[in-house]
């Protein structure tokens, strides 16, 4: 079995990781194609020990391509995903555009891999928001054991969550501050170097931001529509790795020790939880890793059946590229089954 795979957005932070992870996990690729905008035609994109020449999405004929991993934003996904799917190529999209479409499965394989079966409705599968992906991986085993009723989550999201431009802005502002350059926020609404910004994506009518809304509706679509979620999403001056402080309320009591054991056994999770200085994971330690790390597990005595923990993951990997490749692996193995 081997598949012709196209990566749209191959010059972006997520697209580059998609090519890395396809190679790293030895996904059965008969041919890999790197696509981006016309601006990037002819640029190099690494794929394992090979170098691909980037081609323009607009000029590419998807006939004969089996899987398209897309990481080029909502506008590109809106226009191109249906066109690519119509040529018989299954699209796994990272933007928010298709996530809440009832005919598009929104998938985190550790949680709802079976939903991939519904890919055939539109030929599109959606990847969740980076903060949602790591959250639901951690919530799933706890929900199965004690049924979650409510989640309160505060995020500490790295600048790579805003793509190449987000990382560049943190880098240039940090350097600039040491030489007294004027700070001119472009990608972010305020200075990001040595600061935190409680605002990601646009504001909604109820005062939440769209990033916070996404964490709410996506968690419910992937895990359980009865769970209540309230989120506060904050951008922090970290290059890669999203962190979350999570408090969960359950139907029945669950001790920190029971939660620790459940999480230790769960797929995709590493528990690092020694109650001593350094006995937890920080974002710089999760970069390049596949796991979602859970630390600081403790009972929350201020609510009935409450538990709090700290959760960290590489937003470009589990939050985006790794999750998409995991979906492609299941799609290939269970549904496409193409002979090499």
Candidate residues 84, 89, 91, 95; the one interacting with ligand NAP per rule CB under 6 A:
95
- Does 13 help bind ligand NAP (rule: CB under 6 A)? yes
- Per-residue string for binding with ligand NAP, 41-70, x by CB under 6 A? ----------------x-------------
What is the enclosing helix (H) or strand (E) of 90? strand 90-93
- Which is the catalytic residue, given 68, 143, 233, 242? 242
Q: Confirm if 266 and 323 have CB atoms less than 8 A apart.
A: no
- Does 241 help bind ligand NAP (rule: CB under 6 A)? no
CB of 323 to ligand NAP, least distance (A): 8
- Does 319 help bind ligand NAP (rule: CB under 6 A)? yes
Tokens 């909502």, residue?
74
- Does 130 help bind ligand NAP (rule: CB under 6 A)? yes
The interface region with ligand NAP, picked from 109-117, 161-169, 194-202, 257-265 by CB under 6 A, is 161-169
Tokens linked to 30: 């008969």
- Residue 183 CA to residue 292 CA, distance in Å, equals 34
For 288: left if phi > 0, alpha if psi spans -120 to 50, otherwise beta; the answer is: left
Tokens linked to 39: 């601006």
- Does 72 help bind ligand NAP (rule: CB under 6 A)? yes
- Does 15 help bind ligand NAP (rule: CB under 6 A)? yes
- Does 161 help bind ligand NAP (rule: CB under 6 A)? yes
Q: Confirm if 112 and 330 have CB atoms less than 8 A apart.
A: no
Candidate residues 14, 125, 135, 266; the one interacting with ligand NAP per rule CB under 6 A:
14
- Does 12 help bind ligand NAP (rule: CB under 6 A)? yes
The interface region with ligand NAP, picked from 117-125, 158-166, 229-237, 298-306 by CB under 6 A, is 158-166
Report DSSP letters for 93-114, one per residue: E-SSTTTT-TTS-B--HHHHGG
- Does 19 help bind ligand NAP (rule: CB under 6 A)? no
Candidate residues 315, 325, 328, 332; the one interacting with ligand NAP per rule CB under 6 A:
315
Tokens 């479409």, residue?
101
Cβ nearer to ligand NAP, comparing 11 with 20: 11
What is the side-by-side strand order in the sheet with 148-157?
Answer: 228-235, 148-157, 242-250, 306-313, 292-300, 269-271
Question: Shortest CA distance to 36 belongs to which of 5, 67, 61, 59?
Answer: 59
- Residue 215 CA to residue 237 CA, distance in Å, equals 21
The interface region with ligand NAP, picked from 18-26, 135-143, 156-164, 171-179 by CB under 6 A, is 156-164
Within 13 A of 94's CA, how many CA atoms are on the CB side? 34
- Residue 241 CA to residue 252 CA, distance in Å, equals 32
CB of 155 to ligand NAP, least distance (A): 12
The answer to whether 89 is a known catalytic residue is: no
- Does 320 help bind ligand NAP (rule: CB under 6 A)? yes
- Residue 172 CA to residue 179 CA, distance in Å, equals 11
* Interacting residues toward ligand NAP by CB under 6 A: 8-15, 36-37, 39-40, 57, 71-74, 76, 94-95, 130, 160-161, 163-165, 315-316, 319-320
* Residue positions annotated with a catalytic role: 130, 242
């Amino acid at each position: 079995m081997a598949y012709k795979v196209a990566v749209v957005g191959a010059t972006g932070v997520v697209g580059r990781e998609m090519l890395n992870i396809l190679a790293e996990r030895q996904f059965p690729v008969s041919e890999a194609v790197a696509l981006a905008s016309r601006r990037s035609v002819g640029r190099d994109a690494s794929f394992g020990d090979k170098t691909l020449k980037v081609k323009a999405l607009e000029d590419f004929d998807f006939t004969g391509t089996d899987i398209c991993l897309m990481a080029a934003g909502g506008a590109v996904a809106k226009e191109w995903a249906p066109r690519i799917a119509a040529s018989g190529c299954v699209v796994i999209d990272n933007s928010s555009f298709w996530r809440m479409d009832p005919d598009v499965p929104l998938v985190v394989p550790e949680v709802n891999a079976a939903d991939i079966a519904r890919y055939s409705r539109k030929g599109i599968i959606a990847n969740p928001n980076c903060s949602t992906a790591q959250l639901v991986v951690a919530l799933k085993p706890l929900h199965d054991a004690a049924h979650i009723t409510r989640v309160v989550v505060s995020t500490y999201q790295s600048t790579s969550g805003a793509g190449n431009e987000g990382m560049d802005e943190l880098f240039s502002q940090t350097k600039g501050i040491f030489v007294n350059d004027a700070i001119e926020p472009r990608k972010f609404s305020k200075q990001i170097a040595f600061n935190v910004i409680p605002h990601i994506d646009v504001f909604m009518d109820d005062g939440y931001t769209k990033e916070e809304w996404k964490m709410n509706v996506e968690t419910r679509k992937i895990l359980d529509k009865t769970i209540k979620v309230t989120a506060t999403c904050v951008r922090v001056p970290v290059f890669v790795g999203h962190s979350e402080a999570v408090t969960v309320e359950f139907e029945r009591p669950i001790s920190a020790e029971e939660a620790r054991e459940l999480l230790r056994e769960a797929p995709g999770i590493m528990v690092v939880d020694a109650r001593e200085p350094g006995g937890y994971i920080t974002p710089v330690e999760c970069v390049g890793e596949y796991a979602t790390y859970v630390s600081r597990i403790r009972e929350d005595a201020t609510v009935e059946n409450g538990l709090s923990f700290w959760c960290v993951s590489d937003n470009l990997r589990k939050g985006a590229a790794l999750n998409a490749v995991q979906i492609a692996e299941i799609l290939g193995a269970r549904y496409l089954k193409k002979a090499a």
